[in-house]
Structures are given as C-alpha cells and as structure tokens.
Amino acid sequence: SQQGEEDPQALSIQEGENATMNCSYKTSINNLQWYRQNSGRGLVHLILIRSNEREKHSGRLRVTLDTSKKSSSLLITASRAADTASYFCATGLTGANSKLTFGKGITLSVRP
C-alpha cells in the first residue's frame, strides 16, 4: 500500500514558471524525501526533510513540511525543460526500519 498521495497527478507549465507539487501522508514519519524519475531511468534523490524541520532549500528547490497537516510541498522555481520528469514523495516511518513508502507520483511537463 502507498502512504503518500501526491497532488496534482499531472502538471504542465511553461519554461520559467514555478511548479508546486503537494504530498499528503497518513501516519507519523521520521522524514520525507522527494525523488525525481526521468522516463525509463532510476530515481534521483532531490531533498530530504526531517520531521522536526519546516522548510528546506536546495538550489531551485524548496520543500516545506507541515506535520500537523501531514503534508509537504515541493516548489521548483524558474523551471526548465530538463525538469520534465515524474516526482515522488517518500516517507520514512516512525518506528519502522529504513524502508521508504512512496506515493504514485506527479508527472511534470515543462514546455520550452
């Protein structure tokens, strides 16, 4: 079963615009991670935010975490055509081993 639910399922934007993707989850977590997957490729780790953190930045990426609402958002600023990919949020659960539980993913298309 999948713990995370991403929203929207698909997003199409123009190059240069910002892309905001949301993730909700159900149980308590230790951390939440965002991954990118290009078609036919493996998962690339983007950013990890711990349950005691509220916001984190990495380059053009900004991630927020609201544990009271059990939700996270990933913002990509000044999008590029190369950002076209599927994006997944994954949670590491409190008390569990280190396995990650993924959502179904968001398909982002950035039009040049």
Partner 1 sequence: GAGVSQSPRYKVAKRGQDVALRCDPISGHVSLFWYQQALGQGPEFLTYFQNEAQLDKSGLPSDRFFAERPEGSVSTLKIQRTQQEDSAVYLCASSWAGTGGSLDTQYFGPGTRLTVL
Q: How far is the CB of 108 from partner 1 (least distance, A)?
A: 15
Q: Which residues bind partner 1 (CB under 8 A)?
A: 2, 4, 29-31, 33, 35, 41-45, 48, 50, 88, 90, 92-94, 96-105
Shortest distance (Å) from residue 53 CB to partner 1: 11
DSSP 78: S
Q: How far apart are CA 102 and CA 112, in angstroms?
A: 29
Q: Which is nearer to partner 1, 95 or 112 (CB)?
A: 95
**Cβ atoms of 3 and 69 closer than 8 Å:** no
Least distance (Å) from partner 1 to the CB of residue 51? 9
Cβ neighbour number for residue 5 with a 10 Å cutoff: 15
